[in-house]
Structure 1
Amino acid sequence: MNMPGDRRQRLRQSTTLNGIDFIRVDKTQTKLEVHFLNQEPGVALLQNSVKEPRITGGDAIPTVPVLPGLQWSTTPEGFPVLELHVSAPGDFSQYTLSLSSTLLDPFFSRATFSFKAHCESRLDCEQPPEDCALEQPPPPPIDYLAKDFHSFRKALSDFSALRYPEWQERSEADFGVMFLESLSSIADDLSYLQDRIAAEASLDTATQRRSLVRHARLVDYEPRPAMASQGWLWLQLREGKSGQLPAGLPVSALGPDGERIDFETGRGLEDTQSYPVDSRWNPGKLIPYAWDDSERCLPAGATDMWIQGDGLGLFEGQWLLIDTEPRTGGNESLRALVQLTGIQKSSDPLVDDTKLTRITWRAEDALARDHDLTRTQVIGNLVPVTQGRRFRESFIVEGVPSGSRQSALVRTGPNDTLQILFPLAQAPLAWRPSSEDPNSPPRPELRVIRQDEDPPEPWTWQRSLLDAGSFETVFTVDPIRYRPVGIRHPDGTVSMDYDGDGETLRFGDGVFGEMPDEGAVFQVTYRTSVGAAGNVAADSITLFEPNGPLGEWATQASNPFATEGGADAESAESVRRLAPEAFRARRLNAVRPEDYDAAAESLPWVQRAGTVVRHTGSWHTVFTAVDPLGSESLRPEQHLELANLLGRRRIAGHEVYASAPRYVSLDLEVLVCARPDAFQGDVEEAVLEALSNKRLRNGRTGFFHVDRFTFGTPLERSVLEKEIQRAHGVAGVHHIRFRRRGFTSGFVTLSNTLTVGTDEILRVDNNPSRPERGSIKVIVEGGK
């Protein structure tokens, strides 16, 4: 096939056809010289044959008219030259000059030129040759469902059969097949990575712990880690032994599956104090004393008792266990934990001047049940105990590991920054509630110290390094695990790769937290936890090494109460369900009355709150009254705490006023019929006891106990009659009448439901010394 260059050569050899060679434009841009390729046909023939020259192809000026009067001439070599004139030059476009003549070759009867050929330009004026692209074959069909090695291999095999039909070899040893399978393997890895990234990008589909934590933190929700349980331990000290028992001594219990569950004395890794112990406080040494046989029962609500002896070494703030053995056939002993507030020495002059000690404890530790002093013992040597096992590791940053010292993991982080990581060998890490604020997220049982400093420098745990300054020596804990991949480098370090959930220390990058120096040596001390399995039953923590650290002090140990607080790490399903709604769980403002009630009831000592909003003349005032748990009055510190809480959450323009509850005191008159075999006095006593405001000997509370009625709680006649009917010797209730003190003077029949206001609480104390707090009169008919 002949190309355009061949046509030009063939035209030069022709004597019957001519064609345009090039066009020259003068500086005025109005004169054009058209030069031809051949000498023949010459001017004599061309001037009679060439007609209607046309200049077209402009942008702003599409056509440039040619002036009449064509002028012909020849070059010194004898080539024809046609001179054309235009009235005005064209624009900067490429124009095409077309000549109509039978003596001109159809292809070379036209030529392109520019009127601006003499304008200054640094560009190459020669047009690049046209490159005709090869026709692309149709794309092969793509199997978009290919997601694993075998489907990718089949897709590539089908593609090669269509694109390279001459390649027929399918032996596994063939280079092409090996290359095909290598590509399929890479595609399989990339497909898995693509699926994993897509899954971890959403809270609903994420499975990795670190992804769940990061998603939850975006909405200020902190997933619960593995929490360590806590409890108390009493020790049977060796005879004559006393001193300060250090924290961190190991002790253990047996789990349901026979595995040992490790505990340590103290309140965790941060606890460095010692606890006073003395063999004089062993079980059986602190003997309760009753001044008279009528006082052999330590009643519910008691906050003091007497103990034989006066050289006991007891002190204020000490914790004691009051343990009452069960009666014959009982299930478990009755135990109470109290903290001493006072020790008073005395003696009994009537019984050989017996030395005695009176101990008192806090009001919040008041006994909840009656204790029989004949079966009660007082036990000291109580120390706190926390579930977990202690480990210690050491590592160096970008250095050569030696002995037990490992090398930190250095990875490339965002923006080519370095990440200094150290994965903990044991998991799960134990976490405990913050000692400063119980409502704040827990803290890890972890201590990091840089050892190559003098003195050694402790580094601080930070929940998020985004809150750290560039020079703060802090670290955080990521829920990630790295494992060795089996490649050991010449310097002794081992390559590690991501391996799911675990615990890894991550240090700062120099912008958010200080980056450790190269060669820095750190020691990590941490404790692990078994989570919910650490909530063991009472009398389970009894195992320790007789020749171990604790064995030097004690011969026996046990936990008087079940340990509590242990919890497994929050499940993925729980995080997905709670994280999006967590911001609604705890409101930090109050608008409606029920918002103020909820804020007040968040205090642990508030049973219930009642709020009323009134306009007091110039502004709205919010009156919030609270019902304290186990009491009818507010202590000054409680009143201040409530006022500060409501003041922080009130709406702008409203004043808050925290007040004591409004009590509705009732006087009741109850007429009952006694059974024939019951004494009237016994029936009256039983009814008064059933309707009292005290805690009864059987552990139940009286009908009008302070915690039974709260704001807005009505008095149901049917419930009241049921309680009276259950009293000893009552055959029936004839009628119940009442009057409200301060409102009515006469008694009226009690209706089915006696309602009170939302800020009012019913009260019937039946205390003769305080008649304004309500009274009960029981009239008994029948009986004997």
Structure 2
Amino acid sequence: MSTECRAERRRAEVRAARLNGVDGVEVSDDGLTLTVTFLGKAPRDLGPEHIRIEGGRRITDVRAIDVQVERAEDPDLDDRVHVTLDKAGDTSTYRLRVVEPDAYGRPGTEPRRGFDPRYHAADFEFRPACPSEFDCQTAEPHPPKTRPQPVIDYLARDYASLRRLLLDRMTLTAPDWVERHVPDLGVTLVELLAYVGDQISYHQDAVATEAYLDTARRRVSVRRHVRLVDYAMHDGCNARAWIVLEADRRVTLERGGFRFAAIDVGRLDPRERPDLGPVLSEEDLARLPHAATCEVFEPVGGGDLTLYPEHNRIPFWTWGEEEGFLPEGATSATLRDEWAEPAAGPGAAGSGARGRKLRLKPGDVIVIEEVLGRETGSPADADPAHRQAVRLTSVTPAVDELYDQPVLEVTWDPADALAFPVCVRARGGPDCRPLGEVSVARGN
């Protein structure tokens, strides 16, 4: 049985036994008058010497200076007593006791005769304008039962770990739910919560990352940071890349008549992937499946583009050596050319009467690319990082008289100096044989 139940029963028993007791105390707005409600009828000779006020932190020694009894005409109703105090107390808890006076006529310490020991006193507080708790149900004194706090892994911040954490938690709280198939509604809700948690974690990390200039990743965040130091940040330009084309015949692409498309069909079933050629029309792009990803790029150059089959793969000339390389920082090279027609006769090699196949000129861009592994000679071992585009500043035709070989002496700007050594020809493989053209130049 709870304390409240026992208290209610004791109140009834006190009334039935015709004993006195204090049921509650109310404080007036000014804090100088206490209204005391008794259990039954109040004593007839009740005076200030029977009222003792105890307690207080800042204000103590509060005394009663007058007592007026308010008799209820109905014998079943309780009497009330209005006690006038000499001063108001503080906000701490006070205790009113009905006691016997001492030998000097002052409030003593012994409970007044005829009062129940449990109800000869009552606690109250001086709180003006606060509602009284009198005649209200007493709050539950026992604290509510607390459940053990769940073990939370705060390192779980992505979708997979959050999903695992939620499923582990559901195993503890709902052990009867053992379904783990994707179509299950419970699994769907768990995955939805994991997805939301993953997004929230991303935003939390993004806020902390974008808050500092050293870690900011978004251009708008960097712009806002540098604006604080009065630095005007340029809008920049779109990403650009050099594209190498191959042609089987000489062809001229008119300005505005061609574009470049990057098409990804990896998400399609192998049986549904279209057979795409190197050249596609607008109708071919429109017929691509919706699952295929297509991104179109416009050429930067403003004029027509002429492609030559001789520029597909231009070898370097090593002047008869089986090994050769261009050092890092090089700004010139020798390219091997070919005669456009056979020699007319002896001594015609350097006459200039024969034409040349290469059509390179100053201002053109060539891409130097490693096509074979320098040690094995395998195309799979070629370093894809060994590619660099250079813009030619001079193109000088020449002839290697020893081999009757036409060549081109090309140079490029120091700003385009090679960032890595280029292996032109080498020996390698198990038998240390000549590997041929390890690196070439692309002219289209």
TM-score, with structure 2 as normaliser? 0.42
Which of the pair is proportionally richer in strand?
1
TM-score, normalised by the number of residues in structure 1: 0.26
